[in-house]
Structure 1
Amino acid sequence: MKIKLALAQMAPKLGDKEKNLKKMDKLIAEAARKEAQLIIFPELILTGYSLRNQYYSLAENIPGASIKKIEESAKKNNTHVIFGMVEEAEEGILYNTSVMVGPKGYIGKYRKKYLPTHLVFEEKRYFRTGYQTQVLETEIGKIGLMICYDIFFPEVARLLTVMGSQLIVCISASPGTRRGYFETFISSRAMENTVFLAYVNLVGVEDGLVFWGGSRIVAPDGTIIAKAKYDEEDLITGTIDYSDLKSSRIAAPVLRDLRPELYEELFQLSKK
């Protein structure tokens, strides 16, 4: 089964959901004209990343008004869309969330597990930690969701793979100071799990943070299928073939050779 992906590496207008939704609608239509079956946008694309207390006034329930607009766009263009937003689960309770919709409407969501709160990052000040691992069974395959800093923790991608993910989608808001980390981890997570991985990052400048872009699709053997430009907006497409998973897992049988008891040992040591 072959799937064509589009990575919409976009610079959002900070705090302006209406403008960002209009831009997303245009990019969805453009990607659909290129016959993309899944269009992926970056982390917190509806609002931008550097908002601090503005998160509270811009957050929405899921499903909500913005998701309805993305659903309409997905239906009109007969495609699937993954994007990031601020979710308000209850009054004043926020999550950094990845959402997927398709031609038939809302499919599912994932709440970011690891919230960076060091150096310039302040996510734990605003967001609650997510706990559920999410693999969505869709018409275009089994898709695992993760967000940005999650990729620093190999157990997240490993769990998504063991749960059946054929494609892992990592949306991100990574500034340039983290580029070296991400470029290494993106390939590592794909190769160590023999899984396809699509990474989509913000671009632009927000409150002194410069987002580096560099979005890409990586094959299970680490081959880069498609790669976006650095430091500027871009829309790229690439095709993945799920039948490649079998040959990759024969060549590098890491999933067969897993030692689950080591995770228990890790768990016990981490409590000390």
Structure 2
Amino acid sequence: MSDMLHLGMIQMPISRNPDTNIRYFEARAKGLCRDPRRPHLIIGVEFGISPDRILDPAGPEIKALQTLAASLQAWLIPGSLKLAEPGGGFSNAAPVLDPEGNLAGMYKKMVPWDTDLEAGTIPGREYLTFDMQQPNVRCGLQICFDADFPEISRTLTLMGSEVLIQLSMDPDSIPKAYECIKYARAMENQAYYIYMNGSGEYGHYTLGGRSLAVSSEGHTLFAAGEQPTASIVSLDLTRLRHCRQHGSWDQVAQLKALRQYTPAQPWAGHESGSPVFSQAPFADPDRK
């Protein structure tokens, strides 16, 4: 059984029309599957399905993507969408489809970003990991602003994830220094980190692209430019497991040390009551 995970990365423009987005993703995914490496998993971007229209979870768009997964016999994370919630409103949700076309899970973004695009988003409360058999690997999913909270990536890692995936729709106004977060999440969790961002114009935004694949030792395995692209990166799971067992660079074994020492986290689950929020600027009654 192979210990290489071939991963398709589709950095794409985003349309308000879900059908346009699905057709674009489908064409690029089919192209990637003609490559000799043939991806096991193909990933899109945040709101790469529907950024504007709220979709039904049992609607034709999800069914079309299920059909695509089955026809390609590949795992798909085709992007996220505004998903209708049973009690009203919507979440920012990303479906995970297995090679038989089954819906393996639906991740809902936990920390919406304060923009007009996400105004009114109902935050998710449940983590999502999924297991692939060929190769044998567990992946964990998050969306955009979730990555700024290390607790989310660490929880996915503690749930057994070896590959951390972040779907984003970041504008080009965000500086390049922001990439440091992706490298930190990879190294502190000794995991592969996949960052997928949109490209091109959307409304008053220009999306920044620059999707990344980062190794557990902080190596850049793939770095996209700003233009749309469809590429394949191969992840060496044997090397990842070596790092977790013997330490990154054969020196730094964060997860083994975490298991051995387990630092106390006195404010975990009680962050809103922690001292930092009784200080300025959070304690300023005039600050909104």
Given the two structures, how large is their TM-score scaled by the length of structure 1? 0.89
Question: CA offset at residue 100 of structure 1?
Answer: 0.9
The match for 2:85 is 89
Distance 1:63 1:136 in 2: 21
Alpha-carbon deviation of 1:244?
Answer: 1.4
What is the Cα deviation at residue 42 of structure 1?
0.2
Query: Match of 1:39?
Result: 42
- Residue 255 of structure 2: aligned partner: 255
- Structure of greater Rg: 2
In the alignment, is residue 206 of structure 1 matched against residue 207 of structure 2? no
- Three-state SS of the structure 1 residue aligned to 2:230 is strand
**Unmatched segments (≥5 aa) in structure 1:** 49-54
Q: Count the aligned residue pairs.
A: 259
Residue type at the aligned position of 2:41: L
Deviation at 1:123, TM superposition (A): 5.6
CA separation in 2, counterparts of 1:63 and 1:31?
27
Q: What amino acid sits opposite 2:120 in the alignment?
A: Y
- 1:51 paired residue number: none
- Give identity over the alignment, percent: 22
Secondary structure of residue in 2 paired with 1:103:
coil
Per the alignment, residue 22 of structure 1 pairs with 23
User: In the alignment, what sits opposite 2:279?
Assistant: none
What do you get for the CA RMSD once the two structures are aligned? 1.7
2:77 pairs with 1:76: no
1:52-131 equivalences under 5 Å are 55=52, 58-82=53-77, 83-90=79-86, 92-105=88-101, 106-117=103-114, 121-122=115-116, 125-131=119-125
- Say which SS state the counterpart of residue 8 (structure 1) adopts: strand
CA distance in structure 2 between the partners assigned to 1:159 and 1:65 by the alignment: 33
Distance 1:6 1:235 in 2: 7
Q: Tell me if 1:132 matches 2:120.
A: no
How far off its partner does 1:171 sit?
0.5
Query: Tell me, what secondary structure is at the counterpart of 1:130?
Result: coil
Counterpart residue type for residue 33 of structure 2: A
Secondary structure of the structure 2 residue equivalent to 1:6: strand
Deviates more, 1:133-142 or 1:157-166: 133-142
> Are the structure 2 counterparts of residues 17 and 138 from structure 1 closer, same or farther at C-alpha, using a change threshold of 3 Å?
same
Aligned residue number for residue 190 of structure 2 = 194
Instruction: Determine if the alignment matches structure 1 residue 218 to structure 2 residue 220.
Output: no
Q: Does the CA-based 8 Å contact 2:14-2:202 persist in structure 1? A: no
Secondary structure at 1:99 match in 2: strand
Over 3 Å counting, the alpha-carbon distance change for 1:179 and 1:62 in structure 2 is farther
Shift of 1:102: 2.1
